[in-house]
Amino acid sequence: MKSRTLSQIKDKIENGEATVLTAEEVSRLVKEGNKPGFDDVDVVTTGTCGIMSGTAAVLHIKVDEPGSFKKASKILLNGVPGFPGPCPNEWLGTVDLIVYGTSHSIYDDDYGGGFLFQDIIKGNEIKVKMESTNGETIETIATIDDMGTAQMVGTRLAFKNYTAFVNPSEESVASIFNAVNMEGPYKGLSFSGCGELNPLQNDPHMRNIKEGVRVLLCGSVGIVLGQGTRSSQEKPNLMISADMRQMDPLYVGGYKTADGPEVFNSVAAAIPILNEDILKDTLITNKEIKLPVADIRGRHQVLGFTDYASVWEDITERPVYYPEGCQKCELCLVCERCPTGAFKSNFDEEICFGCGMCNYSCPHGAFQMKRGKIRLNIDEKLVELPIVCRQSDIIRARKLAEELKKRVINGSFYLSE
């Protein structure tokens, strides 16, 4: 079996001789019948973007002058509850705290930790309201420049394989796995995962993407701390941490679901092709990657299987907005349902996640989008399921994988073992 060392790959990068491809580029060559050999590629970059609930921020914020209060007992950031500690910072005028990406604002049902994280990374002013152990209430404004620490920790990120969901019942079901209550029976499907581009799909045995390895988390160089919670050999995921100051707000934010706001973020990882077995794992296509379809009420009751080609190919990745089709409805379903707030009075394509909810919801066809559909055999009956909601964004995933490719080539991203 052919092999090379990481030092040899680094030398090729330094000399401008390395071939670096994204996982999508590798898969495209495979589909075209031009499967790359060991000598054709040195590094493969991967990426994913989607709802990743196990995300938190560790912050250190100045609230007032030293001596102004003993320590914090409660704290709100833009109405989102944080958890003071673990350091009490007694009499320092500052607060250490943890904020969950899934926490909900006490003032706004549609605003949560994910939206807060994006506001922090953008440098927006954050309203801080703190209650001390002695009962004082202090209110102030803070930006990321006022934070001694702003570190994101993802406890369960970038699953290798996800599950798609349907509702077999007559009653609608509210869930974090769909942007609105999922209608049934079998009225549609929601799914997550970026298929052939996904990091652990290209490194299923975690030969490269493992503890201590550098990755990009929302554009910031981070470290894999180890396997994430609920990680298993069949369904691995990662625990990652990175500095929020270096993050790009494009890659992180809030995402409204039928069960409240969630958080999305993005992960990219580089795979040095050290031997032929590592290369072989990257020679995958969406058609080969199974996607189980489960009952949204039970999650583990698998009803059948499709594949990622069925959900990501022959579709459009972003809607096209036709303002002349907008009827200015008094209750605009798109405004109400858009998970990232991309449509208010106008359509903001940069904020758009490509979920398809606008096309699904607008009764006047102001948003045109090919969302796709799958066919599934359930109880010996062929069921056609339109895709109603994507909870992963292939465009952001692709963009971050390409950004990582650029950094590897120019030497600004250091490949680690």
> Listing from the earlier edge strand, what are the strands of the sheet with 302-307?
302-307, 290-295, 164-166, 189-191, 381-390, 373-378
Give the domain range for residue 94: 56-150
Domain-embedded: residue 114? yes
Q: Under a CB-based contact definition with an 8 Å cutoff, are residues 155 and 229 in contact?
A: yes
- In the chain, the number of structural domains is 1
Q: Are 109 and 139 in contact (CB under 8 A)?
A: no
Q: Is residue 348 in some structural domain?
A: no
Residue 234 lies in a domain: no
In 3D space, the residue among 160, 184, 164 whose CA is nearest the CA of residue 311 turns out to be 164
- Amino acid 344: pLDDT: 86
Q: Is the dihedral of CA 344, 346, 352, 358 positive or negative?
A: positive
Q: Which residue(s) pair with 291 in the sheet?
A: 306
From the list 37, 33, 105, 28, the residue with the least C-alpha distance to 276 is: 37
- Give the model's pLDDT for residue 345: 76
Q: Confirm whether 412 is domain-assigned.
A: no
Q: Which pLDDT belongs to residue 38? A: 97
Segment 301-308 long-range contacts (CB within 8 Å, at least 24 positions apart): 302/163, 303/166, 303/168, 303/376, 303/378, 304/376, 304/377, 304/378, 306/164, 306/374, 306/376, 308/193, 308/195, 308/196
> 306 in helix, strand or coil?
strand
The answer to whether position 64 is within a domain reads yes
Which residues, in sequence order, are CB contacts of 148 under 8 Å at separation 6+?
Answer: 60, 61, 62, 94
Q: Is 174 a domain residue?
A: no
Residues of the chain short of pLDDT 70, as ranges, are none
Residue 1 belongs to some domain of the structure? no
Do residues 360 and 304 touch, judged by C-beta distance below 8 A? no
**Alpha-carbon torsion 282, 284, 285, 290, what sign?**
negative
Query: Nearest 5°: phi and psi at 61?
Result: -125, 135
Residue 117 placed within a domain: yes
